[in-house]
Structure 1
Amino acid sequence: MYEQIILTGIMLALVGCLFGTRIKPAWLFVGAISFSYMAGLIDLEGMLVNYANPSLITLILLVLVSIAIEKTTLIQTLAQSLAKGSLSRSVMKLGLSTAFLSSFTNNTAVVASLISAIKESPTHSPSKLLLPLSYTAILGGTLTLIGTSTNLIVNGFAIDAGMAPLGFFDFTLIGLGALFVGLITIMVLLKYLPDNGTNQQEVVPFYLEGKVQAGSKLIGCSVEENGLRDLKDLFLAEIIHGDRRICAVTPQQVIQQGDTLLFVGDIKSVPLLTRFDGLKIVHDKHEKDVEHLVEVVMSQSSKYIGKTVKEVRFREQFHAAVIAIRRGHDRLQGGLGQVRLQAGDSLILAPGSQFYELPNLKREFVYISGLDLQTHLKSKQSNIVLAAFSGVLALSIFGIVPLVKGLMVLLLGLFLMGTIKINELKRRFPLELLAIVGSAIGLAKLMINTGLAGKISSGLFYMLGDFGPYGAFIAIFVMTVIFTELITNNAAAALSFPVAYALAIGFDVSPLPFIMAVAFGASASFISPFSYQTNLMVYSAGNYRIKDYVTMGLPLSIIYSITVLTLIPLVFPF
């Protein structure tokens, strides 16, 4: 009883922090399992062994092997074919190809590899292609055991709970059904996506900053007197005066020396701001023409994610000045230097002469306007990589060599061939994923072993008993979907699994449909740009608003859910 009370407090604190704070989930999960150790709920060996879980090791190896796969001609060929054909044909081709690639490799790598080609497409607006790209990458991940991290995580939970391992294709029938209805839904809703490539009335909401210099004619005059109120395609959103932020800027607000003026609007209006006496926009003397500006999109593998522009020391690191930032249509706050960078952020840079010679551009950015960041293997090398990976999967599927062993050998071979460099392995090693999943496996074990999961399921059983196993199955799925949209897919799977497993035991039915409900529910990240990595990556790149995700994602989520809830009991009866 004592253990259950302590663990309940830990889990409530974990869930509360996941929902109510911006602390990284990795820190929260590691903190939760560490507190469990300090409280005597788990010994050191029992805590550390969870980080060596075979499913987790398999997941990490897949992420690392995908470094080589994304360099192959397979993705390059797909990128070149996107511009051919009508919009509906391009979306269908993109969707099927992306789903296929995502079924056996890291879907964030697939999306990152295609963003540049889609943004440079001369035929179709990026906003018509990027959100379908993200959605089909998510749907494709549900096709196989290795398609998405949540499938492997759930498999790890199942094995630790004493169940038989899930098969490579156990997810495929349900995943194919979800992909089929998902693609049809996307095609039907395609007309509701914005056409930001041709709609010239769309003002791209970049976030710009100007500093009032000494001797400026703006000093001592109001916003209205200076003509800063009615600027074309620009809005004066904030003024920072020392430590004071003025968010509701009135026409009567007087401009003072040293004020930082924060504008929201069209990047093409930069030349307009440079006409104001003593208003410094671009810090590099020679870069005042908008034609010399460069747009970049932050990579999910950048080491600067979560840091402010000031902490990064952007000018020193990249020989470029940040003059504007965009995160979808979100209104950012504070000076540019205080904005914490996220994957998918679009930055407008005034580059110095050394910018393009920097070796770390490919690591930090998934897109630079007019520049191909992808490293492509030669045709022969590409074929060797794809054949070797296919061979490893085949050996695993037929039970000849375990997948984890095959991937270890493959990764070593790719390293010895020089296809993957040691710096790439260091940069792309999924440390946060290791921290979250390893900790989550330990917490799930604790919830089951201490009986806490059983207590929670008893409460749910009392509420849902009249609806039978199917009603409880639907409840678990819905709960997982809500968790996925509000926190992260891996955290959602970790929180839902112990309860789902205990409910199945309580109803005395097969746990498999409940486990599958958690797996497919944790992949239902369609409604928010922040719930899944690929959604966030295309947010700014496609110049989307949150309503675009809701308009397309909500119907897709509903249809996906109905399909999955119908198919799972048919494939895995209670």
Structure 2
Amino acid sequence: MVEQLVLTGIMLTLVGCLFGTRINPAWLFVSAIGTSYLTGLIDLENMLVNYANPSLITLVLLVLVSTAIEKTTLIQKLSQSLSKGSLVKSVTKLGLSTAFLSSFTNNTAVVASLITAIKDNPNHSPSKLLLPLSYTAILGGTITLIGTSTNLIVNGFAVDAGMAPLGFFDFTLVGIGALSVGLITILVMLKYLPDNGKSDQEVIPFYLEGKVQSGSKLIGRTVEENGLRDLKDLFLAEIIRGDERIYAVTPQQIIRQNDVLLFVGDIKSVPLLTRFDGLKVVHDNHQKDIEHLVEVVVSQSSKFIGKTVKEARFREQFHAAVIAIRRGHDRLQGGLGQVQLQAGDSLILAPGKNFYSLPNLKREFVYISGLDLQTHLAPKQSNIVLLSFAAVLGLSIFSVVPLVKGLLVLLIGLMLSGTIKLNEVKRRFPLELLVVVGSAIGLAKLMIGTGLAGQISSALFMVLGDFGPYGAFIAIFLMTVLFTELITNNAAAALSFPVAYSLAVGFNVDPLPFIMAVAFGASASFISPFGYQTNLMVYSAGNYRLKDYIVMGLPLSIIYSITVLTLIPLVFPF
């Protein structure tokens, strides 16, 4: 009883922090399992063994091996074919190809590899392609055991709970059904996506900063007198004056020396600001040539995520000054130096002459205008990589060689051949994923072992008992979908699995359909740009608004849910 109370406190704190704070989930999960160890709920050996779970190790190896797959000609050829044909034809090709690639490799890597090709597409607006790219990558990930991290994680939970391991194609029938109706829904809804690339009226809301220098003619005059109210496609949103921030800038506001003027609007209007005497546009101590601006999109593997531009020492690191930041259509606040960078942020840089020769560009950015970040393998080497990966999967599917062993041998071979460099392994190693999943497996074991999950399921049984197993199955799925949209897919799976398993035991039915409800529910992130990494990656790149995700994602989420809830009981009877 005492153990249940302590674990309840730990889990409530974890859930509250996941929903109510912006603390990195990795810190929250490792703190939760660490507290469990310190309070005696789990010993050190049993805590550490969770980080060596076979499904988790398989996931880590897949992420690392996908580094080589990204370099193959397969994705390069796909990129070249995207612009051919009508929009519907292009989205169909893009969707099916992305789904296929995502079912066998890391879907985040697939999206990252295609962003540049889509942004440079001459025939179709990127905003018509990028969100379908993200959605079909998510749908494709549901088709196989290795298609998405959540499937492997749920498999790890199931094995630790005493169930038989899930098969490679156990997800396939339901996954293909979900992909089919999902792609049809996307094609029908295409007309509701914004055409940001073609509309001259669309103002891209970049966030720019200018500082009033000493001796400027702007000093002592009002905003209106200085002509700062009638700028084309630019809006003076804030003034920072020392520690004071002036939000509602009136035409009568007097400009003073060292005022920082914050503008929101079209990056193309930056040259207008340079015409104002004594207004320094570039955010840095070095003036740059603003006629040769570069747009970059922050990578999910960037070491600067969570840091401000100032903390990242951006100029020293990249020989470039940040002059504008865009995060979808979000209104950012404070000076540029105080904005915490997120994956998917678009930055406008004024680069120095050494910028393009820096070795860490590929790690920090998934897109740089006018520059192909991807290193491509020669056709022969590319074919060897693809055939080797297919062989490893084939040997695993036919139970000849375990997948984890085959991937380990393949990774060693790729490193020895020079296809993957040691620094790439260091850069791509999914440490946060390892921490979250390893900790979550330990917490799930504790919830089941201490009886806490059983207590929760008993309470739910009292509410859902009249609806039978199918009603409880729907409730678990919807709960997981809600968690996925509000926190992350992996955290959603970790929180839902123990309850789902215990509910199935309480109803005395096969747990497999409940486990599948968690797996497919954890992949159902369509309504928010923040619930899934690929959604966040295309957020700024496609110049989307939050409403674009809702307009496209809500119908897709509903249809996906109906399809999954119909197919799972048919394929996996209670």
TM-score w.r.t. the length of structure 1 is 0.99
Q: Deviations over 1:408-435 (max 9, x none)?
A: 0000000000000000000000000000
Alignment gaps of 5+ in structure 2: none
CA RMSD of aligned residues (A): 0.8
Q: Which region of structure 1 is more displaced relative to structure 2, 67-76 or 275-284? A: 275-284
Aligned-pair CA distance for 1:275: 1.1
Question: For the Cα contact (< 8 Å) 2:293–2:348, is it kept in 1?
Answer: yes
Give the letter for the 1:248 counterpart.
A
Per-residue CA deviations over 1:22-45 (Å, capped at 9, x if unaligned) read 000000000000011111100011
The equivalences for 1:129-148 within 5 A come to 129-148=129-148
Could you tell me how far apart the structure 1 residues matched to 2:452 and 2:462 are? 15
Q: What is the aligned partner in structure 1 of residue 38 from structure 2? A: 38
How far apart in 2 are the matches of 1:176 and 1:505?
29
Residue 288 of structure 1 is aligned with which of 290, 295, 318?
A: 290
Give 3-state SS (helix, strand or coil) of 1:348's partner: strand
Q: What corresponds to 1:254 in structure 2?
A: 254
Instruction: Give the equivalent residue in structure 2 for 1:218.
Output: 218
The answer on 1:153 being equivalent to 2:153 is yes
Distance of 1:316 and 1:286 partners within structure 2: 14
Aligned residue in 2 for 1:326: 326
2:431 maps to amino acid = L
Q: How far 1:222 moved relative to its partner?
A: 2.1
CA distance in 2, matches of 1:359, 1:437: 31
1:225 CA drift (Å):
2.2
Q: CA deviation at 1:285?
A: 3.8
Tell which deviates more after alignment, 554-563 or 340-349. Answer: 340-349
Q: In 2, distance between residues paired with 1:54 and 1:385?
A: 23
Matched, 1:560 2:574: no
Match of 1:546 in 2: 546
Is the 8 Å Cα contact of residues 204 and 543 (structure 2) preserved in structure 1? yes
344-353 vs 278-287, which moves further: 278-287
Aligned partner of residue 147 in structure 2, secondary structure: coil
Distance 1:88 1:493 in 2: 34
Q: What is the aligned partner in structure 2 of residue 338 from structure 1?
A: 338
8 Å contact kept, 2:127–2:196:
yes
Structure 1 residues 197-212: aligned runs within 5 Å: 197-212=197-212
Matches for 1:265-276 after TM superposition, within 5 Å: 265-276=265-276
Q: How far apart, in 2, do the equivalents of 1:209 and 1:466 lie?
A: 60
CA distance in 1, matches of 2:253, 2:61: 57
Query: Partners of 2:274 and 2:444 in 1: how far apart?
Result: 58
Q: CA deviation at 1:360?
A: 1.1
Matched residue of 2:310: which SS?
helix
For residue 14 of structure 1, report the CA deviation from its aligned partner. 0.4
Equivalent residue, structure 2, for 1:185: 185
Superposed CA offset, 1:251-308 (max 9, x none): 222211111111000001111111111110025445133xx11111111111111111
Partner SS, residue 231 of structure 1: coil
TM-score scaled by length of structure 2: 0.99
**1:74-93 to 2 correspondence within 5 Å?**
74-93=74-93
Q: Superposition pairs for residues 59-458 of structure 1, below 5 Å?
A: 59-282=59-282, 284-285=286-287, 287-289=289-291, 292-458=292-458
2-structure distance, mates of 1:510, 1:226: 73
Q: What SS class does the counterpart of residue 473 from structure 2 fall into?
A: helix
Cα deviation 1:353-388 (Å, max 9, x = unaligned): 111111111111111111111100000100000000
Deviates more, 1:274-283 or 1:343-352: 274-283
Contact 2:235 2:265 in 1 (8 A): yes
CA contact (8 A) 2:288 2:321 kept: no
- Alpha-carbon separation, structure 1, partners of 2:472 and 2:11: 22
**In structure 1, C-alpha distance between the alignment counterparts of 2:59 and 2:248, rounded to whole Å:** 48
Q: Secondary structure at the residue paired with 2:236?
A: strand
Residue identity matched to 1:455 = Q
Alignment partners' CA distance in 2, 1:447 and 1:256: 60
Q: Paired residue for 1:471?
A: 471
Letter in 2 for 1:76: Q
CA distance in 2, matches of 1:29, 1:230: 50
Aligned partners of 1:359, 1:396: CA distance in 2, in Å? 36
Deviations 1:175-206 (A, max 9, x none): 00000000000000001001111101000000
Q: Residue 204 of structure 2 aligns to a residue in which SS?
A: coil
Structure 1: gaps spanning 5 or more residues: none
Give the Cα separation in 2 of the matches to 1:262 and 1:446.
50
Secondary structure, in 3 states, of the residue corresponding to 1:309?
Answer: coil
CA distance in structure 1 between the partners assigned to 2:7 and 2:172 by the alignment: 36
Deviates more, 1:219-228 or 1:72-81: 219-228
Contact 2:288 2:350 in 1 (8 A): no
Specify the code of the residue in structure 2 equivalent to 1:278.
G
Distance 1:452 1:218 in 2: 66
Cα contact 2:213–2:279 (8 A) shared by 1 = yes
> Once structures 1 and 2 are overlaid, which stretch shifts more, 471-480 or 362-371?
362-371
Range 455-464 or range 224-233, more displaced: 224-233
Higher mean displacement: 311-320 or 458-467: 311-320
Structure 1 residue 56 and structure 2 residue 56: aligned?
yes
Runs of 4+ in 1 over 3 A off after TM superposition: 283-286
**Amino acid of the structure 2 residue aligned with 1:287:** D
Moved more, 552-561 or 334-343: 334-343
Partner of 2:517: 517
Which one-letter code corresponds to 1:97 in the other structure? S
Query: Which one-letter code corresponds to 2:118 in the other structure?
Result: I
Deviation by residue 1:444-477 (Cα, 9 ceiling, x = unmatched): 0000000000000000000000000000000000
Counterpart residue identity of residue 290, structure 2: K
**C-alpha distance in structure 2 between counterparts of 1:539 and 1:376, whole Å:** 26
Q: Residue in 1 aligned with 2:460?
A: 460
Name the CA distance, whole Å, in 2 between partners of 1:145 and 1:285. 52
Secondary structure (helix, strand or coil) at the match of 1:207 reads strand
Letter in 2 for 1:104: F
Stretch deviating more after TM superposition (301-310 or 480-489):
301-310
**Aligned with 1:310: secondary structure?**
coil
Greater CA deviation, 141-150 or 350-359? Answer: 350-359
Structure 1 residue 248, shift from structure 2 partner: 2.0
SS in 2 for 1:256: coil
Q: CA deviation at 1:247?
A: 1.7
The aligned residue for residue 531 of structure 2 is: 531
- Separation in structure 1 between the aligned mates of residue 506 and residue 247 of structure 2, nearest angstrom: 55
SS in 2 for 1:308: coil
Bigger shift: residues 433-442 or 269-278: 269-278
Report how far residue 129 of structure 1 moved.
Answer: 0.4
> One-letter code of the match for 2:565?
L
Q: In 2, Cα distance between the equivalents of 1:530 and 1:237? A: 25
